[in-house]
Structure formats: C-alpha cells, structure tokens
C-alpha cells in the first residue's frame, strides 16, 4: 500500500513509526506549519516534520487543507491507497477524504464515542475515569464520528497525570495501528458505526482552566491537577503571588479541621502542606513559586514559612 501520514505533535510519532515499520510505502507526511517557540519566538518545526526530514520523507505543510485546491490536487497526484492521521489538528474536507482508494483512518486517544474532540487525554483524567484507550476509526466530515475499526482499552494508573498518560496512549496508538494496517492488507476493512447517543465531547484546553477553585471537592481538584499536568498546569495564589501546583493527593479532613475552602490546615515537616477544600482536604505535594524551581512541599516549607489559617486564592 501507498500510505500518506498526517500528524503534528509528539503523540503522532508512534503511529508514524508504525507506518514506517509496516513494510508499506510511506509516500509523504503532512503536518502543520512551523510555529514560533520559546522566549526567542524562533520558528520551530513540529515533531512529525523533524522525524520526516531525518528519515528523508517528503513533507507538506498547508495552512489549512480545506479550500487549498492546489494542495488537494498535489495529493491526488500521489495516489495514496490509505491516509493515516494522528493528532493532525484539523477536520479534513470530503474532497480530501475521497482521495485514497481505501479511505482515511485516524488514531484517536479515547474509547469512542466517548471523548470526541481535542482533549481526550486531559478530560478523561479531569473526569476521574479509570480507563481509556485507543480507537482506530474511519474519518468522515464530522468530529471523530466515523466507523470504528479497532479499539483497545488502557487502565489509568491512580496517580497518573496527563503527560504520563499521553506517553502510554501514544505507544499504544502505534501498536493498535500496526494491527489495523495488517487488516488493510486484505483490502478495505468493514467498520462499525458509533452509537451517537453515547457520545461525549471535549474542547480545547485553556490556561485559565488551571486556576484552582478550592470550594469544590478535593477529589475534583486532584483530578484537575492530574489532567492539566504538565500543561498548562494548575495554580493558586499565596500573598498575591502565583504558585504552580504540580502534584497533590487527597487527605481526610477531621470535623474540627473544617475551615473555609482554601485555608491552610497544616504546613510543617510532619504533615506537609494541607489545604481545606469544599469537601475533604488536599496535600500539595509538589509546587513551584514564581522564579523558583519545582520542589516538594517539605522543601518549600523549609525555605518559606506558611502559617495555618492563611487562605489561598487571589484575595489572600
């Protein structure tokens, strides 16, 4: 088979490597344009482009596929049998989806029809779910609505954050895609329609989502921190300064300890940094102050004294 691959970030690399190792012809890679990165805002290539250049694979970087007739005509001349996408970043128009003779398939990081959309890895953690997985599906003009070809479940570790789950799902994506490509060696594969009544959606992650609202249950705050670590990260305010919270764990809150949400209950070498929540309490195990490094709460408290009774938040 002649395969065209479309993807952009690190997540796509395992799938791209799976195509490359499949024995089929990887005719080209399509990825998003280079973007400014770092403090110097120098243009940097997406990870998929770097991989393609290192492996001497032709690269295309259209700003958008939809409406780019010259790009679509260029792909038609390549005559791909199959298009494989993984975290490419744009919905593809029907004029493009119709090009490959065996269709376009996508590697999606959820058990569809749940968590269609842009942030399935983060949202499944924010929601406190215990399992997720990879779906290989046909693409259509909707958002992750195509027929399912293969699925494989992955159990979520209790304290796993989005960065860790991302890496495990990326690796699993490559493995499941390898199985799917084997199926296509016998010709087009019959997919199974999704149950749209069971569909759920997740939007793009915004930095503002990371501000901790202490008046919700400690379990919800813990899940939010897991889901938004390492990016964009969760944060709170102490004495008007912003502190990033890297890791936290739930703690029991005794009746006599119940305070206004956001109140520091303990701040010492014995208990660490314990904060009251809308329900229960939370130990902030790792944090980072402005201009400082990431550190444990015990190391932080050795250098900075926090008095129990202080309330965290913008008004503190």
Per-residue pLDDT tens over the stretch 2-17: 999 999 999 999 999 9
Q: What integer pLDDT is reported at residue 314 of this predicted model?
A: 73
pLDDT at 184 over 80: yes
Per-residue pLDDT tens over the stretch 227-238: 999 999 999 999
Confidence label for 63 from pLDDT (cuts 50, 70 and 90):
very high
Largest Cα–Cα distance in the chain? Answer: 73
Instruction: Report the C-alpha gap between 95 and 83 in whole angstroms.
Output: 13
Q: What are the residue ranges of helices labelled H in the chain?
A: 13-21, 47-54, 69-78, 94-97, 120-126, 162-184, 218-227, 297-303
Q: State in Å, rounded, how far the first CA of the chain is from the last one.
A: 62
Per-residue pLDDT tens over the stretch 236-268: 999 999 999 999 999 877 656 678 999 999 999
Q: What pTM, to 2 d.p., does this model score?
A: 0.95
Give the domains, in start order, of the chain with CATH numbers: 2-202 (3.40.50.170), 207-303 (3.10.25.10)
Q: What integer pLDDT is reported at residue 316 of this predicted model?
A: 44
- Burial (0-12, 13-18, 19+ Cβ within 10 Å), 219: middle
Up-side HSE of residue 283: CA atoms within 13 Å toward CB? 16
Q: What integer pLDDT is reported at residue 266 of this predicted model?
A: 93
């Amino acid at each position: 088979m002649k395969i065209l691959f479309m993807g952009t970030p690190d997540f796509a690399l395992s799938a791209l490597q799976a195509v490359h190792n499949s024995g089929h012809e990887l005719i080209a890679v399509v990825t998003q344009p280079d973007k400014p990165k770092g403090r110097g805002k120098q243009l940097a290539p997406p990870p998929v482009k770097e991989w393609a250049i290192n492996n001497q694979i032709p690269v295309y970087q259209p700003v958008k596929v939809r409406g780019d007739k010259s790009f679509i005509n260029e792909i038609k001349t390549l005559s791909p049998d199959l298009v494989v996408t993984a975290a490419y970043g744009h919905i593809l128009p029907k004029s493009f989806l119709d090009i490959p003779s065996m269709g376009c398939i996508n590697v999606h990081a959820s058990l569809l029809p749940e968590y269609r959309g842009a942030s399935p890895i983060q949202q499944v953690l924010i929601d406190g779910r215990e399992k997720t997985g990879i779906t290989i599906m046909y693409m259509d003009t909707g958002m992750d609505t195509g027929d399912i070809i293969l699925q494989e479940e992955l159990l979520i570790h209790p304290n796993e954050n989005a960065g860790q789950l991302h890496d495990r799902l990326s690796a699993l994506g490559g493995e499941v895609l390898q199985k799917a490509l084997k199926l296509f060696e016998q010709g087009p594969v019959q997919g199974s329609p999704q149950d749209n009544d069971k569909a759920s959606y997740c939007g793009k992650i915004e930095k503002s989502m990371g501000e901790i609202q202490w008046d919700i249950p400690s379990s919800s705050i813990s899940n939010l921190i897991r889901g938004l670590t390492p990016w964009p990260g969760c944060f709170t305010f102490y004495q008007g300064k912003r502190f990033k919270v890297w890791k936290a764990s739930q703690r029991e809150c005794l009746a006599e300890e119940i305070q206004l949400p956001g109140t520091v209950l303990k701040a010492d070498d014995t208990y660490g940094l314990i904060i009251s929540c809308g329900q229960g309490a939370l130990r902030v195990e790792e944090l980072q102050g402005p201009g400082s490094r990431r550190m444990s709460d015990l190391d932080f408290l050795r250098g900075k004294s926090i008095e129990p009774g202080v309330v965290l938040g913008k008004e503190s």
